[in-house]
């Protein structure tokens, strides 16, 4: 009986390192799989944002501007005038994607984009403003989008715009980055 107990103990001691080694292999495999998944989600987010931004940049190809008439402000002695306005999205946007410690969403992305406005000098006629290439003023507004990774998609959860003329931040209604940033000027 002693021999059987001793043999059983030896067999058990021999098996424990093998079981522990198998547990380590499982844990190592799970860590590697988690890292691969994290990299895939992060890469997917960057690619999704890059694709959207490339679509935005494409919308600005060509010559685009608006010519607008500004009503006189008689109380201030300012006559009515025509001006050309154009703008574009800066290609140097910033993206930060990170895993967060919450159950949903597990990943968030922050996108920061600058939009440069160009204002022409003021003119008394529409034709003068339309043919003008002289710049009177430029300003840069800033957009910040927060996205969350939910059900395999990147969804805008928050959007803000810094209006450089007013000098303050505004929360904007944004479901789609492209719709906010695409060219809204007339094509010429």
For CA atoms 9, 14, 17, 18, give the dihedral sign.
negative
Sequential pLDDT tens for the chain (188 residues): 666 655 555 555 555 555 445 555 555 555 566 778 788 889 999 999 999 999 999 999 999 999 999 999 888 888 999 999 999 999 999 999 998 886 666 899 999 999 999 999 999 999 999 999 899 999 999 999 999 998 889 999 999 999 998 999 999 998 899 999 999 999 98
User: What is the spatial distance between Cα 162 and Cα 11, in angstroms, rounded to a whole number?
Assistant: 71
User: What is the spatial distance between Cα 67 and Cα 185, in angstroms, rounded to a whole number?
Assistant: 9
How far is the first Cα of the chain from the last one, in angstroms, to the nearest whole number?
A: 99
pLDDT confidence of residue 104 = 67
Helix (H) or strand (E) holding 28: helix 2-59
How many residues in the chain?
188
Q: Note if the bond before 105 is cis, omega within 30 degrees.
A: yes
Which residues, 6 or more positions from 93, have their beta carbon under 8 angstroms from its beta carbon?
A: 53, 111, 112, 113, 114
Which residues are 156's β-sheet partners?
147
pLDDT confidence of residue 29 = 59
What DSSP character marks residue 140? E
pLDDT confidence of residue 185 = 95
Residues 157/143, Cβ–Cβ less than 8 Å: no
pLDDT confidence of residue 73 = 87
CA angle 93, 170, 83 (to 5 degrees): 80
For CA atoms 44, 100, 94, 65, give the dihedral sign.
positive
pLDDT confidence of residue 67 = 95
> Between the CA of residue 166 and those of 30, 121, 140, 162, what are the distances in Å?
52, 20, 11, 8
What DSSP character marks residue 63? -
User: What is the spatial distance between Cα 127 and Cα 115, in angstroms, rounded to a whole number?
Assistant: 27
pLDDT confidence of residue 159 = 97
pLDDT confidence of residue 78 = 85
CA angle 67, 143, 44 (to 5 degrees): 120
Which residues are 123's β-sheet partners?
82
């Amino acid at each position: 009986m002693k021999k059987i107990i001793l043999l059983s103990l030896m067999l058990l001691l021999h098996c424990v390192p093998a079981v522990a080694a198998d547990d380590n292999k499982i844990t190592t495999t799970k860590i590697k799989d988690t890292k691969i998944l994290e990299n895939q989600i992060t890469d997917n987010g960057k690619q999704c944002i890059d694709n959207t931004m490339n679509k935005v940049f494409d919308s600005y190809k060509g010559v685009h501007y608006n010519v607008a008439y500004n009503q006189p402000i008689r109380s201030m002695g300012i006559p009515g005038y025509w001006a050309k306005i154009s703008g574009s999205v800066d290609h140097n946007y910033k993206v930060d994607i990170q895993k967060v410690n919450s159950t949903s969403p597990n990943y968030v992305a922050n996108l920061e984009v600058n939009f440069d406005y160009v204002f022409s000098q003021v003119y008394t006629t529409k034709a003068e403003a339309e043919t003008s290439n002289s710049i009177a003023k430029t300003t840069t507004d800033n957009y910040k989008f927060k996205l969350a990774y939910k059900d395999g998609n990147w969804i805008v959860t928050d959007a803000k715009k810094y209006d450089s003329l007013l000098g303050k931040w505004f929360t904007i209604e944004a479901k789609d980055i492209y719709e906010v940033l695409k060219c809204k000027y007339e094509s010429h």
